[in-house]
Amino acid sequence: MTKQHADVRPGRLSGKKVLITGGASGLGLACAERFAEEGADLYLADLNEPAAAAAAQQLASRFNCQVGFSAVDVTQEDSINAAVEAALRTLGRLDSCIASAGIASAGISESAVDKSVLTTPLASWQKVLDVNLTGVMLTCKAVANHVVRRGGGGTLINLASSAARVSLPGNAEYCVSKAGVVMLTQVLAMELLPHGIRVNALGPGFIETPMTAAMREDPEGRARMEGMTPMGRLGKPVEIANAALYLASEESSYTTGHTLYPNGGIFVG
């Protein structure tokens, strides 16, 4: 589903074409809404195609922007390549990408006694790394190859997590996958610098998204998340989207290889 618009809309991303994986919900959808508000046209790729279709229709109507969508499994190179090709057919080119598709492991309210590296099934470990780390790599690879071919530069934004820096017992696979995203971002930034492609990442703290819903509904889980956050509250999805907007816009033109941590002060330095 797409919607054409006659004029370029004003905004900090006016005329930019952006692919968002995991764009049908959570932080991906929050970024899509914020980017559309700032003049971008979008392509939403998500494992849940009906949700992506609904989000695309809502965004196109609300912001008068062009929005395409398709299903994608970011763990499969053929699938992400097909999504990028579909985005190019819909939007004509890509200027930016947000690799936000991801999954969580066990909640932080679960103690290391209940779940640890010693009891983690290999299939569970591999699945989280496949989605959260390999999926980001494949997404960046496909989009960057297009941008290199067309020239002119662009931006890649990867979703890491504050768990890349703060160990969460019982969640080794999640922490390790997100730490990998941080290093992947740094390496890609140096490799793609000659092509004018800036690569940065976001490391959110505890945000009010579907990923934290179960913990938020449990008083003990919410208290633990809030207790780990010096600001004493959970973040709003738009607060992460605003950070992504900065990294995608020319306001961050001198920034690459950096992970920005909007996390309410979970760690500093």
What DSSP assignment string belongs to 186-225?
Answer: HHHHHHHGGGTEEEEEE---SBSSGGGHHHHHSHHHHHHH
The residues that are catalytic are 174
Q: CA separation (Å) from 246 to 34, 35, 165, 254?
A: 11, 10, 22, 11
Q: Which of 243, 246, 221 is nearest to 234 (CA)?
A: 221
Rounded Cα distance between 117 and 128, Å, is: 13
Exposed, middle or buried, 130 (CB in 10 Å: 0-12/13-18/19+)? Answer: middle
Q: Which residues pair with 83 in a beta bridge?
A: none
Amino acid at 52: A
Residue 11 · residue 85 · CB < 8 Å: no
Q: Which two tokens stand for residue 262?
A: 């909007």
